[in-house]
Amino acid sequence: MTIEIIGTGRSIPPRRVSNQELADRIDTSDEWIRSHTGIGNRHIAEEGVAASDLGADAAREALLCAIDRGLVTEKTPEELALTVDLIVLSSATQDFFSHPATSCIVQHLLGAKNAAAMDITVACSGFIYGLETAAAMLKADFRRKRALVIGTEVLSRITNWDDRSNCILFGDGAGAVLIEKNDTSNQNAGQTGLLRTILGSDGSGWEYLILRRGGSRNPWKKGEVVEEVPAIAMNGQAVYNFAVGVITETLARIMKEENIALEDLALVIPHQANARIIQAAAKRLKIPEEKFYLNMEEYANTSSASIPIALDELNRSGKLKKGDLIITVGFGGGLTYGGNLIRW
């Protein structure tokens, strides 16, 4: 049985904000942001555009991709959407607090009437967790065949634009993949698709990346005057150290346990938080930096959307070839982390 990615898509808001544009408003500079993070720009959603809008657009692109490549018999995204059994969506910026799940709104926008829909909240590790969750649920029931895995974020809505150590990091966007289960009796064919996933968490760091207000621990109170938009609070140094550690460990473990030599690995697709985190992990692992695909220069950190956006860029540009061995690796609030080993 294989779980193959048969379509990829992304949705990037057209409004592009450069470092210089931020530097015109707050005390920072293009040079500082680039040298400390590798980020050059971010895209910001227009007012009124929510996570479900970007997520549904990215998912529609993933459906179209599978159709255009002749990997399905359905002829339109609407027709193909009806064959989707499951939507797993990750977002730190869901349309609504608590419920409804943003995946349900996406299900409605796509007309995916036969799909179950669920959200997961593991912040920036969301795509890695989502892919494993969807794959496991497809494998669990022979009637389920196709799933959409979506990461979608409008982080600009929970960013404190006056906090220079924080607001420079984030951007908006969505990425999606369509996965399909194939039952195969051919042993050799069993070597493609999602091969292995590592997932982990360290709840002792729950305060290091946090949106403090609104939940049952710290609810809004009647009559309360809100002075500031609730924003991401972060212990940058603690997150940095955690990130370098878990990226290093996760990659080393997958490569050792799955017996992967460096020359067999086509690409590592990391969560696009900070180029310095990737450089530090690459150095520890003695993996050349060129093996890591980086696009934070254009999009900044789009949390759970960053890996599927990168996958879509690579897929559409032809940089991923059939048979390529790739590893996704990421970390995020919770704290959470993980990695997927995929044979394209």
Cβ atoms of 137 and 84 within 8 Å: the answer is no
Contact between 240 and ligand COA per CB under 6 A: yes
The contact mask relative to ligand COA for 102-141 (x = CB under 6 A, - = no) is: ----------------------x-----------------
Contact between 151 and ligand COA per CB under 6 A: no
Neighbours of 65 (CB within 10 A): 22
Is 271 a residue of the active site? yes
- Report d(CA 42, CA 170) in Å as an integer: 7
CB of 38 to ligand COA, least distance (A): 10
Q: Residue 333 region, left (φ>0) first, then alpha (ψ -120 to 50), else beta?
A: beta
The contact mask relative to ligand COA for 211-230 (x = CB under 6 A, - = no) is: --------------------
Among candidate residues 41, 301, 315, 340, the one labeled active-site is 301
Closest C-alpha to 212, from 195, 183, 233 = 233
Of the candidate residues 2, 8, 28, 197, the single one contacting ligand COA (CB under 6 A): 28
- Report d(CA 11, CA 99) in Å as an integer: 23
Instruction: Report which secondary-structure segment, H or E, holds 247.
Output: helix 236-257
Is 301 a residue of the active site? yes
> Which CB, 337 or 344, lies closer to ligand COA?
337
CB of 238 to ligand COA, least distance (A): 8
Contact between 161 and ligand COA per CB under 6 A: no
Neighbours of 297 (CB within 10 A): 15
> Which CB, 11 or 274, lies closer to ligand COA?
274
Cβ atoms of 325 and 341 within 8 Å: the answer is yes
CB of 15 to ligand COA, least distance (A): 20
CB of 239 to ligand COA, least distance (A): 4
Task: Name the CA dihedral angle for 136, 142, 143, 144, rounded to a multiple of 10 degrees.
Answer: 20
Cβ atoms of 177 and 87 within 8 Å: the answer is no
Q: Which residues here bind ligand COA, judged by CB under 6 A? A: 28, 32-33, 36-37, 124, 164-165, 168-169, 209, 234, 236-237, 239-240, 273-274, 301, 332
Question: Looking at the annotation, which residues are catalytic?
Answer: 124, 271, 301
